Structure 1
Amino acid sequence: LLTSLIFAIPLAIARTTSIAILRSIAIAYSWFFRAIPSLTILFFMYYGLPALGIYLDAWTSAILGLSLTAAAYMTEIIRAGIRSVPAGQYESARALGMPFWLSMRRIILPQTMRIIIPPMASEFTAVLKGSALASLVAVAELTGQASALISLTYQPIPILASVALAYLALNSVIVGGQAFLERRYRLG
């Protein structure tokens, strides 16, 4: 989730810039990674890159593949939030002589946060649930481990119930974080 945010914020800013080449790169990135299924990206990272001489372990492949895909969706969420800030805010920053990056950091992005918190929390939840795909590229993640345990013990109900509770707990952290941030940014 953090890696995808690191990619998404500059891409979203590039998506809204007047510099055509940056905007074009951000649009192409967003289009490409939203158009291809996460599983295909994961398979390419783990099985395809070695054919090109690039070897990544399973964890790195999974983190990079899921991050690249999630970043494309988060880019569009952040871009929509940036676009929703009234034009007068940009003009005021320019009138005060603020450089672009300073106005983004101090004026535009804080206002964007109020708008993007709910869809970002939804994307975080989707990424968390999508991490189950990592078991298909040899990552020992929660769902993959549950499947292995079921085949050993023939006890699907308690194992799957435990997995469901683990996902509920992890998603509860995301929902709690969303509620905290909404309260924080509502207060101004």
Structure 2
Amino acid sequence: MTFLDILLKLAQGISYTIIVTLVCSATGLCVGLTLASLRRLNYSVLTFAIDCYTYVFRGVPVLVLLFMVYFGLPGLGFKVPPLMAMALSLGLVASAYLAEVFRGAFNSVDPAEILAAQAMGMSRLQVLGYIELPQMLRFSVPGMVNEFTSILKYSPFAYTVGIPEITKQATTLTSTTLQGVEVYLAVGILYFLIYRICLFGVQIISRRYQIPGITPA
């Protein structure tokens, strides 16, 4: 089997890799943004609970959590589909890291703007929604890109729960062709191409929404 044939065979799993990455990224983004926004409201009970969440989920290995969800929950009567298991493991771990990215980006917002908005009579939720969130999302783009890259790199764990993404195709192809070096070299090339395409798209979005006068990293 030629190297081109290997690439074409592995390409069958690209759609699953992209789906897993997008689902886990969306889960991490939504949960992380919600946690960071709630923490910004400065309610002591919420802050403590969110700090505990981020502390725990940043310390649990993704693969261990994935096995707990996919193989452990059925023992308690909860059957979890493979894609949902990835969202509840990789997605939630990513949300803990993204919550910290957003927290740092929130701290970059000029306090004078917040004070001015409050002096105009805006409520805390209005300040958060109209003043802090738009700027925070722009400041957090580099951190989000870094975390989404990590999600892409962790997406091969999906093959352990039966999702036929690129790595699953590679293990099958290696067992039938015994061309391990060529197969996994092709895997690396495909992941690199996916990463570069995603990065190019993010850079376009970043330039479109960057804050005037601030050069993106």
TM-score normalised by the chain length of structure 2: 0.80
Fraction of identical pairs, as percent: 33
Unpaired runs of 5+ in structure 1?
Answer: none
Aligned to 2:70: 46
Q: Deviations over 1:40-72 (max 9, x none)?
A: 110111011112211102222122211111000
Q: Which region of structure 1 is more displaced relative to structure 2, 99-108 or 81-90? A: 99-108
Say yes or no: does 1:100 pair with 2:118: no
Aligned to 2:61: 37
Say yes or no: does 1:56 pair with 2:66: no
TM-score normalised by the chain length of structure 1: 0.92
Aligned to 1:8: 32
User: Take 1:119 and 1:107, find their aligned partners in 2: how far apart are those partners?
Assistant: 20
SS in structure 2 at match of 1:98: coil
Does the CA contact (< 8 Å) of 1:3 and 1:67 recur in 2? yes
User: Take 1:71 and 1:57, find their aligned partners in 2: how far apart are those partners?
Assistant: 20
SS in structure 1 at match of 2:78: coil
Residue identity opposite 2:138 in structure 1:
R
Larger RCO (CA under 8 A, 6+ residues apart): 2
Say yes or no: does 1:161 pair with 2:185: yes
User: Take 2:131 and 2:137, find their aligned partners in 1: how far apart are those partners?
Assistant: 11
Q: Which region of structure 1 is more displaced relative to structure 2, 135-144 or 25-34? A: 135-144
User: Take 2:83 and 2:60, find their aligned partners in 1: how far apart are those partners?
Assistant: 20
The Cα shift of 1:187 comes to: 5.0
Does the CA contact (< 8 Å) of 2:106 and 2:136 recur in 1? yes
User: Take 2:189 and 2:28, find their aligned partners in 1: how far apart are those partners?
Assistant: 25
Unpaired runs of 5+ in structure 2?
Answer: 1-24, 213-217
Aligned to 1:122: 146
Q: Aligned pair in 2 of structure 1 residues 20, 68: CA closer, same or farther (>3 Å)?
A: same
The Cα shift of 1:162 comes to: 2.7
User: Take 1:172 and 1:101, find their aligned partners in 2: how far apart are those partners?
Assistant: 37
Aligned to 2:99: 75
Aligned to 1:27: 51
1:109 to 133, 152, 157: 133
Does the CA contact (< 8 Å) of 1:114 and 1:182 recur in 2? yes
Q: Could you list the runs of 4 or more consecutive aligned residues of structure 1 that deviate by over 6 angstroms after TM superposition? A: none
Q: Deviations over 1:133-173 (max 9, x none)?
A: 12222222211221111111112233223322221222113
Does the CA contact (< 8 Å) of 2:138 and 2:211 recur in 1? no
Residue identity opposite 1:186 in structure 2:
Q
Does the CA contact (< 8 Å) of 1:117 and 1:181 recur in 2? no
Does the CA contact (< 8 Å) of 2:159 and 2:167 recur in 1? yes
The Cα shift of 1:126 comes to: 0.4
SS in structure 2 at match of 1:54: coil
Aligned to 2:16: none
